[in-house]
Amino acid sequence: MLNFLLTGTSSNGVLTIQLHRPEALNALNTALLRELADTLDNAATDSAVRAVVITGDSRAFAAGADIREMADLDLVGVMNDPRPQYWARIAAFAKPIIAAVNGFALGGGCELVMHADIVIASRDARFGQPEIKLGIIPGAGGTQRLIRAVGKSLASQMVLTGEPISAQRAYDAGLVSELTEPELTLERAQQIAASIAAQAPLAVRQAKDVLLRSQETHLAAGLAYERKAFTLLAATEDRNEGIQAFIEKRRPEYKGR
């Protein structure tokens, strides 16, 4: 049973996960994070799910981790914290994730946004890593994924001052791929998810895999890895279907094989 998430899968293969802890601006406590990791684990093997949208509500995507929980942990407690395992499971999810961000995406919330493959944000969204203001630093990729997304100077400014940036700034810097009106953010993210869900599932997984790999390796290795994945797809039925449908000017019917 889910306590902090609302979920629903549409017939076109899009699983929408809404973070639902409105009283805490969707702060990512350990229980919520575990539910999220579990939900994605289930979605990983559910063939009805082809893409995932993660969203919050109109005020906040997620305003950080649960500070109270954190306050109780000493060094040993932090070392034994299960949270990094949950984050690793979220990062390992092989199907595409689209974040639909309204309002605040701060701290852990911003880090969760950066676990998504695509980020759609409303014009009133705000992104930040305010951990420094509490005498700590980001602990779930906030220093690593941010610098890769927006570059050194802006990432350093955000992490070292803790000051958030506007949606427009995040868009200009490349953290966000599209800005929308607040009321249409989720709808737009679901549209994009649906268009991905309509593609050949194996190709989508391979594409996500090689895209992420590019962040972890040098160009020559990345290109070799890409070529391997490209070659691998040659053995799939869907590849033949996709190319054949293009030549015959019809819609492809993918089977995930």
Partner 1 sequence: MAFEHIEYRVDQGVAVLTLNRPANLNSFNAEMHAEMREALKQVRKDESVRCLLITGNGRGFCAGQDLSDRNVAADAEMPDLGLSIEKFYNPMIRTLRELPLPVICAVNGVAAGAGANIALACDIVFAARSASFIQAFCKIGLVPDSGGTWTLPRLVGPARAMALSMLGDKISAEQAADWGMIWSCVDDDALMDSALGCARHLATQPTQGLALIKRALNASSTNTLDQQLDLERDLQRMAGRTADYREGVAAFMEKRKPEFKGC
Considering beta carbons, is residue 83 or 126 the nearer one to partner 1?
A: 126
Considering beta carbons, is residue 140 or 189 the nearer one to partner 1?
A: 189
Q: Which of 46, 183, 209, 237 binds partner 1 (CB under 8 A)?
A: 183
Are the C-beta atoms of residues 149 and 174 closer than 8 Å to each other?
Answer: yes
For residue 199, what are the contacts with CB-CB under 8 A and spacing of at least 6? Answer: 254
At 51, list the tokens: 């893409």
65, 149, 173, 189: which one is catalytic?
65
Whether 23 is a known active-site residue: answer no
Interaction pattern, residues 128-167, with partner 1; x per rule: CB under 8 A: ----------------------------------------
Considering beta carbons, is residue 34 or 123 the nearer one to partner 1?
A: 123
d(CA 50, CA 197): 5
Q: How many CA atoms lie within 13 A of 45 on its CB side?
A: 3
Considering beta carbons, is residue 46 or 181 the nearer one to partner 1?
A: 181
Determine the interface stretch with partner 1 among 139-147, 179-187, 196-204, 239-247 (rule: CB under 8 A): 179-187
Are the C-beta atoms of residues 180 and 125 closer than 8 Å to each other?
Answer: no
Q: Is 249 exposed, middle or buried (0-12, 13-18, 19+ CB in 10 A)?
A: exposed
At 144, list the tokens: 């690593």
105, 111, 189, 193: which one is catalytic?
111
Whether 131 is a known active-site residue: answer yes
Residues contributing to the site for partner 1 (CB under 8 A) = 180-181, 183-184
Residues classed as catalytic: 65, 108, 111, 131
